[in-house]
Amino acid sequence: MDKILLNQMEFYGYHGLFPEENKLGQRFYVDVELMLDLKTSSRSDDMHHSIDYGEVYNTVRDVVEGEPKHLVEAVAENMSDKLFHSFELLEACKLKVTKPDPPIPGHYQSVAVEIFRERNA
């Protein structure tokens, strides 16, 4: 299946279980993999047969910078719901939401949640 990829989009949000996360906020990185048939758009060179990357970015930004959630899992699920609602050509998506600086002790690069969703599955 064809894919549109948006990688390492960076946003600032207020998601997390701890009060300081909801008050101070933190950075989030989002990777989006959109699966759809791009044959028609690649032949027609017409945006009406594809998905506008800028609109995808805005949709993701609105979720990450929007209403705080306790779990990154809920952020990812909300994001997938909004993407399917906004883009009728979207057949499936894989989303990765990364917290590079979660308030947990230890040495690690980041923590992340990745989900895969299909339309009407």
Q: Which of 23, 39, 69, 99 is the catalytic position?
A: 99
**What DSSP element (H or E) covers 17?**
none
In terms of Cβ atoms closer than 10 Å to its own Cβ (0-12, 13-18, 19+), residue 38 is: middle
99 as an active site residue: the answer is yes
Catalytically active residues, by annotation: 99
